[in-house]
Amino acid sequence: MQRRASIRLRLALWCAGLVTVAGAIVVIAVVSLTGTVLRDHARLPPAAPGGIGPPPAVARAELARRGEFVDSTLAEARLVGLGAIGVLALCSVGIGWLVAGRMVRPVHALAATAHEVSETTLGRRIALEGPRDELKELADAFDAMLDRLDAAFGAQRRFVADASHELRTPLATIRAELDAVLDDPDASAAELRAAGARIGTVLDRAGALVDALLTLSRSDAIAERRPVDLAALARDVVTATPGAASLDVRVEARPAEVLGDAALLERLAGNLVENAVRYNRPGGLLRVATATTPEETVTLTVANDGAPIDPADVPALTERFHRDGRSRADGFGLGLAIADAIARGHGGTLTLRARPAGGLEATVALPARRAPAPAPVPPSARA
């Protein structure tokens, strides 16, 4: 495979070619104009003292001498011009090489950084200094891409570590139950059934964790969007959530239609309601409201009046596998993280606010489904 010349060499040659062509045009134009002026003057009839013209033979000899002088002068001018063009070509190649080197230096830095970057060295940055030109924008865009990759790899490592930790616990429990049963040759049928029931409970929790992880991964890529009535969905979720009936439930379901994945939006609403029920006080408030704002935004608000929450701790509630003092053994710390991911996947946001009286208020804002424009009425129908 034939190797192409470097971009620096090509830039240098292009600059040299343009400068040389421009110089050649200038030299040719100057020599041509000079030759025209000299020939015009050489053709003027010679004058003698007293205003009387010289004899014809003398005049012809003078004109011939002038013509030879013009020809020799133009020949020397052409020779000097060719030499000047050659020197200009050589100098322009050298200058073009230096200028091109300075121009592509950021590209070399970018390429060197790209070669050195790996999953473990994402901290490298170009940090190009200089004027805000195209190369500076390219270097800054590359640095921004590395920032995003570094954050993504970091989140992936934390997610894998947390998921491994969460799955290690049920696996260890299952192993302990099996070892206890297998090490006891006199275990009764009742003990075996009890161990099987405990293992089944652990497997159910592990299955729920895997389902939550799959939902979390699916929320980043929504394949198909359909009209979803968020108000009806919220009412159904409140009715189906265990423990909600024992609370002071207040549902304010105003019209709220969006375009999205119905299963994911149901999971979003379900996670918010389940979180509000789980971290509530006995007989506490559970408020669920939907609405459509004049700015064509649909909101779903879920609030409870559980234990007070420090506002400084609220941003961490959407982190994956987050647990705090309120957490219980039956949670994975993924509910709000999944809700946040689903909201972002639908082009919306999840906002959490610690209520002054205690508890948490979660508000999801999604783009409203725009109603189709009415069809124009034909003039005949208007009549």
CATH number at 315 reads 3.30.565.10
Tokens 């105003």 label which residue?
254
Q: What is the pLDDT of residue 237?
A: 92
Residue 121 lies inside a defined structural domain of this protein: no
- How many C-beta neighbours within 10 Å does residue 294 have? 5
Confidence at residue 360, expressed as pLDDT on a 0 to 100 scale = 94
Residues 6+ apart with CB under 8 A from 357: 305
The reply to whether 287 and 261 lie within a common domain is yes
Total structural domains within the chain: 3
Three-state DSSP class for 274?
Answer: helix
Does residue 380 lie in a domain region? Answer: no
Give residue for tokens 């999953």. Answer: 119
- Say if residue 263 is in the same domain as residue 361: yes
Number of Cβ atoms within 10 Å of the Cβ of 374 = 6
Strands 285-292, 297-304: parallel, antiparallel or unpaired by DSSP? antiparallel
What span, in angstroms and rounded, lies between the C-alpha atoms of 35 and 42? Answer: 10
Residues 112 and 141 in one domain: no
| Residue 209 in tokens | 């964790």
* pLDDT at residue 90, rounded to an integer: 87
Q: What is the predicted pLDDT for the residue at 205?
A: 75
Angle (deg, nearest 10), helices 134-182 and 189-218: 170
Same-domain pairing of 167 and 234: no
Q: What is the pLDDT of residue 135?
A: 74
Last residue of a domain, one of 218, 234, 266: 218
The pLDDT score that the predictor gives to residue 381 is 46
In a domain, 330, yes or no: yes
- Statement to judge: residues 273 and 190 lie in one domain: no
Centroid of chain to Cα 78 = 59
Distance of alpha carbon 278 from alpha carbon 280, whole angstroms: 6
Q: Is residue 375 part of a domain?
A: no
Instruction: Tell me if 376 is assigned to some domain.
Output: no
Q: What are phi and psi of 136, to 5 degrees?
A: -65, -40
123 domain-assigned? no
Running along the chain, 383 residues long, what does each successive block of 10 average in pLDDT? 70 85 87 84 69 70 80 85 87 86 78 72 73 78 83 74 72 85 83 87 79 67 80 92 92 91 88 92 94 91 92 86 56 79 89 93 90 49 44
| 353 and 233 together in one domain | yes
Quote the domain boundaries for residue 91.
7-116
| Whether residues 248 and 349 fall in one domain | yes
- CB atoms < 10 A from the CB of 332, how many? 20
153 lies in some domain? yes
Residue 318 near residue 273 (C-beta atoms within 8 A): no
* DSSP secondary structure, 310-364, as one string: -GGGGGGGGSTT---TT--TT--S-HHHHHHHHHHHTT-EEEEEE-TTSSEEEEE
Domain boundary residue among 166, 184, 218?
A: 218
CATH number of the domain at 186, please: 1.10.287.130
